[in-house]
Structure 1
Amino acid sequence: MNDVGQIPVLSRRVARLRADGMSAKQVRGRQLARPYHGLRRPEAVTLEQPGLRIADAIGLMTAECVLTGWASRWIQGQAFCDGELYGEQLPVTILCGPGSRLRTRPGIRVRERRLLPGEVIDLDGYAATTMARATYDDMLDAPNPLEALVAVEMATSTVIDQPHTALDNVRATFAAHVKTRGRRQARWALGQASTRSASPWEPRTRMLATDAVGTEDWEVNIPVFDLRENLLGVPDLRDPQTGFVIESDGADHRRVERHNDDNVRGDVFENHGMPIVRIGAAQHARAERPETMERIIGCRARAAVGGSRLWTTEKPSWWWDWEPGRRWD
């Protein structure tokens, strides 16, 4: 169960519970879990992660605190911001003003950063940053520039079925703040950002491919058709010069049905003059990168040799009346 509506009231400070009439015996009872010192929540709660972690963070917040980063984005309905990175949990970030008296503790990261008018919204009685400001904070706190890029692309993607913020909104937030640690990687990420990535592995793959062949002129999730106006597919990345295709395979691609579909789609691209290379998450590991880059270089060289060009990116007339196509426009 993931009832976001119960998050603001799930975890509460002991002082608040006592003020609301709960006895000391009840506060010490086994029916209440103790995620942090001075904080209680029902033991038999059904809320799934990461909602439970966000509920505990909100329970610790005082009037001078604002929820930000991935937690603010998640609670506002964005995808791919579940507080995990490569299997490790990310801390919930809280912006604190003077007098908040909130300290960093396991799973909670406190930041004292300036907030400007219009960057904070009220969500059922607690304060959270706007999607644009939350994305900016995610970029600042990312472990490296690449993950800063992933954050901004997932927050601004127009091809994911989610609420999103405009890339210009994030740029405006960046421009409004100066001398903040992490701005260098945020600036780089904004310079590379596309609003057409459909998963976190796509920008990671795009940067790997850019390192391999030197080009930055990638077509990201652009529909491709055969010469009879049939849709061949929407490749994750395509080189407009040679037509070669790169597909990013996340964990969901390991399922038999998805794997079979991937193979069929790969054959379709190959048969129409678009050589394809598939890159899974494991191929991004440091030890695998040289071989992966060689595969990309080899596929591009194969495409550059030429052959029958049986594809086009020109959209046929029927496309504009086909509702599923709106996702990619």
Structure 2
Amino acid sequence: MRTGLIAFLLALLLLAGVPFYAGNITVFATMCIAKSLAVLGILVLVRADQVSFGHAMYFAIGAYAAAFLSTAYRDIDLTFLVLAAVAASLLAGLVVGLFVTRYRGIFFGMINLAFSMVLYSVLEKAFHLTGGSDGMRIRRPTFMGMEFKRGEFDLLMFYVVLAVAALCFVLVWRYLRSPLGQALRAVKTNETRLEYLGLSARRVLLVGYLVSAVLCGLGGVFMGTVQGLATPEHAFWSRSAELVFIAVLGGQGHVAGAFAGTVIFETVRTFAAAILHDSWQLILGVVLIGIILWAPGGLVELWHRARSARRSPPAAPATRSQTAEARK
């Protein structure tokens, strides 16, 4: 635990210095952190052995909440956009969650996918309300009543997203270690035993579902505000599959896997697109398949392997007597 805390603080300090030693990737780092919040939401559900192929709908809800509010109120504050995204994703998660938490396994994943595709169709077809496939512009909000130029706003967004993400990672870590979070793991192993303890498996899963929906909504509002745009593509099935893939890539064992997986995924995709514009998916696929085959537990497993290799002392050379005994 102490080692993990030190690693977390060092990573936080390293990220906080990005604008100073690598200012040209500040926006890229902000988008990675924002997407890692959505991946963190997927990891919460994976803890209960449930995979949602439609959680991108909450990503889109967060982005469109910011778009509608910034259109209606030109000088709205960033704080209100974030609160609105949290409220909208929480409400949508409650409505959908009351229905989907009745199911498990593939049915849970596919019903979420169905809701997501319904939302995608509405966003794309309701052109007069949502701008259709062109999406909606998200105006640059103020922060604490102050307006910022583009460069200043990018720097502000980086530190706001970093602070919110750090808080969310700590809260989710504590939640997963709490009795309620342990009950979420029990949904995976033995629901009947959980019911004998007096806990409703459906309610436990619903709480986890709401947590994941809010995290995806936060990722969506931050991503949309940084990009200045909300599009129906945010709710498309491929975005949901991308979030699940990153969660598997990062590893299910620790919340840090959400951020590590997102950084690796986005970095490989960016460089692959620069090297081979027309077939960047080929490079991305080969690299990521290699990582998953080498470490099925994701990047978290690689980290634990490296720590174990450093801690384990080298084997002492066998003496002649030991060798003779072994031959006998």
Query: What TM-score comes out, normalization by structure 1 length?
Result: 0.25
Q: Structure 1 or 2: larger helix share?
A: 2
Q: Structure 1 or 2: larger strand share?
A: 1
> Greater RCO between the two (CA within 8 Å, min separation 6)?
2
Query: What TM-score comes out, normalization by structure 2 length?
Result: 0.25
